[in-house]
Structure formats: C-alpha cells, structure tokens
Amino acid sequence: MSVVKVTEHGVFGEGEEVFGGTFVPEALETALHRVADAFAKYKDDPQFIEEYNYYLKEYVGRENPLYFAQNLTAKLGGAKIYLKREDLNHTGAHKINNTIGQILLAKRMGAKRIIAETGAGQHGVATATVAALFNIPCTIYMGEVDMERQALNVFRMELLGSKVVAAKSGNRTLKEAVDEALMDFAMNHEDTFYLLGSAVGPHPYPLMVRHFQSVIGREAKAQVLAKEGRLPDYVIACVGGGSNAIGLFYPFVDDSSVNMIGVEPGGKGLSTGYHAAPLTFGKPDVIHGFRCYVMDDPDKCHSIAAGLDYPGVGPEHSYYKAIGRAEYVAVEDHEALSAFVELSKTEGIIPALESSHAVAYAMKLAPTLDKDKIIIINLSGRGDKDVAQVSEMLSQLTDILNQ
Ligand SMILES: *Cc1c(COP(=O)(O)O)cnc(C)c1O
C-alpha cells in the first residue's frame, strides 16, 4: 500500500490536516469535473499513452541522461552527485512534459481553444509551443507588469502564434493572470481547455500534473539502478508550485530508504518576509481554489528565480511535509547565484536560476555524507534564459565591492 493517501476528489491526507480539494464557484466546478472525467478516462488508455510517449521521444527528446557530475563530486569530496538533465528537453525545461500531456487530453476532449496563465512566461512559452504543434488557437493571460519585465517571452509566445492578454487588475502579476484565466475557463469550458502549469490549483490539476511529470522520476530510477545497482539516498529538487519536484519524488515515494528534499526559494532571507517558501515558513490556508501551505504575506512573494515566486505550493508537497515523508528547506538568492556560477565552471552546465536552488542545497549536503552515498539533483531547466539577469546582478555586485 502506498504512503500517499488521496481521495478521488484530490484531497490529500486524513482528519483535520488535509490539503488540495476544490474551493471554487459553481460555474468553475462543472468545468473542472469535465477535465477530471476526461483525465480518468484517458490516462490509462493504451493509445493515449502511446501518443504521449511518441511526442516525449520524438519532439521533447526523451529520455534525457542521468549524468554523473564527476567534477563537482570530486571537488566537494563527499556523496556522488547525479544530475537529471531536464535542461536538455526541447524548450529547455521540464514544463514541456506536462504541456504535451495536457494538450493531448484537450484534443481528445474536442477543445477548439487553449488558455493558460503565466508569470515569468516559461509556462506560457511551453503552452504556446504545444498549441503551435497541434494547431489549436491559444490565449495566454499574463500580468501587465510581468509582460514588461519579460518582454522577450511575450515575443516568443507571439512568434509561436499565441495571443497574450494583459491582466490589468490588482498588482498586475501572476495572481491576476490566474484569476482571469479561471474566469475565462468558467465561462467557456464547452470548447476551451485550461492548461495549468504546475502541480497546484483545484482538483484534478495537481494529480494530473504529477502524472505527466512522473516520467522524470521513473527514468531517473531506472537509470540509477542501471548505473549503481541501487536506489539513491537523496533526491533533491527546487519547489515553486512543485511540479518538477513531485515528478522526481513520486516514483520514489514508497521507497522509504530514499530521502526526498524540496528546496524552496528563501529569497532575501526568511526573516525579511521577502521569500517564496510557504512550506519552510508559512501556514495552511486556501489559495487559488485549493488548500496548501501559504506564505504569511503573499504580497512580499519574491525570488531571484522568476519561476519560483508563487506564494502557495502543491497540495501533495504540503501533505508530504505534514506526514514527514519529505523534508523542505530554503536557499537564499545569493546562495542560488553562487551555485549558478559554480555548476557552470565545474561541469560546463549552466543551470536555470530555479534549478540552482537545488544545486546549492546539494552542495551543502554532499560534503557531510560518505563517498558511497548517492544524490540525484533534478536539473529542471537550463540557464540560458537567465544569463542577462545574472550578468547584470554580478556587475552591480562588482561595482559595490569596488566602491
Ligand atoms: C517553472 C520552473 C520551475 C518551478 O516550477 P515547479 O512547478 O515547482 O517545477 C523550476 N525550474 C524551472 C526551470 C522552471 O521553468
């Protein structure tokens, strides 16, 4: 029996401390039921699986390697470090695993239109990519402020043929984009599919996104067994909404010898309030239609990595924390920045700033472990998108140091 207790309505846990579920207006409930029914119908359908696997192989480029980071391992002098190379996927991150799965479902549901929300633009680009591939019109909601900050991603989405709509209410960032996408979905669900980007939101999205991202952990498990003949001691991933982490963790969840560590963005320091680490420093609440750990002050949500700054977190991670199956820690902006530079120099691999959080924690952990221990880090994305930002930050830092 699995340690994961979840109902068919996506409620994780038992008794008082439960997470997930569906907290939405009635109009949206109907829309979500249709998605849940379709997902239940197709997820084990042999033709659906065959098509999903075809695109993962031929379009995304899976399977990607589990690379032994020999230079980093030698330099740190402790546990063996392996990198699961999601950064080598088409579009440069793990998000495409999920967007392929969901758009195939949308197609089966007869959707004439795709909608999505995006913060930094990475999920928007992954969605616009599959909308182009399957030739389905796509509208992406994005906060007006985010559109200015991420102008290049707006251009990418438009280049791929999608329409980007500015969310102009409130703070004009991710929260408002989610609200507008949900409203659109409630009104248009007869012919519109809402393609959600992380293991968050109301049921069935957390379970559906886990399903499509679990390919990461399944591959990693087979690869480490082939290379080492045994399971890893630690699996480590960064946690924004939690999709790359749950994708790596889930296939190991019932292997009790495998320690699972989720690394949240500690931002400018937990005590400053400017972070995005609800599991390390928050409390259970309802946000965006589901129950999970939420930051005390969501308005202060901040991370150096745009893909991690979400004030809530997936319900399954909230549950793993509650039952003690996984450990959640925070890594600050400056530590992630150092890890970004360190992995680039030692392995010739430039990681995404998001993934750099997982690398930073592994760099602290590895030297404290024996040489026969094994760590797998999920390298959720490549850092090409971040080099301009990092170059700017490092030159400011040099200016300050030279003053
Ligand atoms: C979006 C993103 C993340 C954070 O999302 P999760 O759902 O927590 O995985 C992490 N890494 C990269 C490269 C991303 O693009």
pLDDT digits (tens, 9 = 90+) for 67-104: 999 999 999 999 999 999 999 999 999 999 999 999 99
Q: Comparing 11-53+95-209 with 63-93+215-401, is the CATH topology the same?
A: yes
- Does 95 qualify as catalytic in the annotation? yes
- Does 355 qualify as catalytic in the annotation? no
What are residue 84's phi and psi, to 5 degrees?
-85, 115
Residues 214, 197: Cα–Cα separation, whole Å: 14
How much is the average pLDDT of 241-252? 98
Q: What is the CATH number of domain 63-93+215-401?
A: 3.40.50.1100
The predicted pLDDT at position 36 comes to 98
Residues 89, 61: Cα–Cα separation, whole Å: 6
Nearest CA to ligand 1 atom 2: 307
Q: Is the CB of 118 under 6 A from ligand 1?
A: no
The predicted pLDDT at position 396 comes to 86
How much is the average pLDDT of 324-335? 98
SS3 category, 289: coil
- Does 380 qualify as catalytic in the annotation? yes
Q: Is the CB of 95 under 6 A from ligand 1?
A: yes
Nearby residues of 375 by Cβ (< 8 Å), 6 or more positions away? 79, 80, 81, 82, 232, 233, 234, 235, 236, 362, 365, 366, 369
pTM more than 0.95: yes
Domain borders along the chain are 11-53+95-209, 63-93+215-401
SS3 category, 283: strand
Under the banding of pLDDT at 50, 70 and 90, the label for residue 400 is: confident
Query: How remote is the CA of residue 193 from the centroid of ligand 1, in Å?
Result: 22
Contact assessment for residue 117 and residue 142, using Cβ atoms and an 8 Å cutoff: yes
> What single string gives the DSSP state of each residue in 92-154?
SBTHHHHHHHHHHHHHHTT-SEEEEEESSSHHHHHHHHHHHHTT--EEEEEEHHHHHHTHHHH
Q: What is the CATH number of domain 11-53+95-209?
A: 3.40.50.1100
Of 304, 306, 330, the closest CA to residue 397 belongs to: 304
What are the pLDDT digits (tens) for 21-55? 999 999 999 999 999 999 999 999 999 999 999 99
Farthest-apart Cα atoms in the chain, separation: 64
Nearby residues of 324 by Cβ (< 8 Å), 6 or more positions away? none
